[in-house]
Amino acid sequence: MDDISYTAQWTAAARARETERPDGIVRDGYARQLAEPRGFELLDRYQGAGVADFVAVRTRYIDDALVRLLAETGIRQVVMLANGMDVRTHRLEWPAGVTVYEVDHGALLDEKQQRLAKLDAEPRVAAVPIGADLAGDWLTALRSAGFGRAERTLWIAEGLLFFLTEEQAGRLLETVAGASQPGSRLVIDLTSAALLRHPMTQSFLQRLRDDGTPWQFGTDDPADFLAAHGWTVRDLRQPGEPGAGEGRWPYAVAPREARGVPRSWLVSADLS
């Protein structure tokens, strides 16, 4: 499997560890099997960077946002971009009539489906895998698979944007906005530009570069960045704040006005 697939195994390992905690905020009974062969090795390699804690909080935030937004809006079309080894299609409760499109590398999707088949795991929702490169013309493949152009969409992009350049991240958001009908929603996570510059994060970031999966983009003003690319932020939280792992996040939460502080962002937005 390629490097980005190993990254998916790494985050699966983080979900598995969280699931196995007595006070865990994530329940993913498939994560341990989907983390093999390198997920736990990478989890240990990046230990101390706080990423495992962030994956737990991010997973719960996106789970809760997804369930809430489907209930509030009545949207019945969901697109998950670079969903990796997560299996929300199998572990969440879904309203009737929802279709989920998973867009990711074909080899990763094939591997995930093979592993789930061995576990006799069945999705709880109509799920359509779309093998496509997000750096290419993935939208054509999505539409060819049945994506409804006239329908409102809930888009999920988890653990994706910091692997892109700023230009690529902006273009992806614009592509998603251009494919959306009014009333569509977006849930994403971002890192801050300060995190990519801060001395405390450099050893972790260097290990990512050494492993061929560098983090390239972050923003200290996610609302402005999303607005510039077609989206209006409706919910913006840092890990540890209410609704985003409060009580689970093991680090102090920096005040929003503090400058130069490494941060992660959890964001829900709608079409501008």
CATH of the domain at 126: 3.40.50.150
Percentage of the chain beyond pLDDT 70 is 99
- 11-40: pLDDT as tens digits: 999 999 999 999 999 999 999 999 999 999
pLDDT of 1 > 80? The answer is no
Whether residue 24 lies inside any domain: the answer is: no
Whether residue 27 lies inside any domain: the answer is: no
Whether residue 20 lies inside any domain: the answer is: no
Task: Please state the rounded mean pLDDT for residues 154-179.
Answer: 97
Half-sphere exposure of 92 (CA within 13 A, CB side): 23
Closest CA to 264 of 18, 49, 40: 49
Range of the domain at 253: 49-271
Question: What's the pTM value of the predicted model, to 2 decimals?
Answer: 0.96
pLDDT band at 8, cuts 50/70/90?
very high
Count how many domains the chain has.
1
Half-sphere exposure of 198 (CA within 13 A, CB side): 17
Cβ count within 10 A of residue 241: 15
Measured CA distances, 210 to 200, 203, 232 (Å): 17, 10, 36
Whether residue 32 lies inside any domain: the answer is: no
Whether residue 18 lies inside any domain: the answer is: no
Whether residue 214 lies inside any domain: the answer is: yes
pLDDT for 2 equals 60
Measured CA distances, 117 to 8, 121, 122 (Å): 18, 6, 8
- Please answer whether residues 14 and 55 qualify as being in contact, where contact means their C-beta atoms are separated by less than 8 angstroms: yes
Whether residue 186 lies inside any domain: the answer is: yes
Half-sphere exposure of 257 (CA within 13 A, CB side): 0
Whether residue 43 lies inside any domain: the answer is: no
User: What is the rounded end-to-end Cα distance, in angstroms, of the chain?
Assistant: 38
pLDDT band at 3, cuts 50/70/90?
low
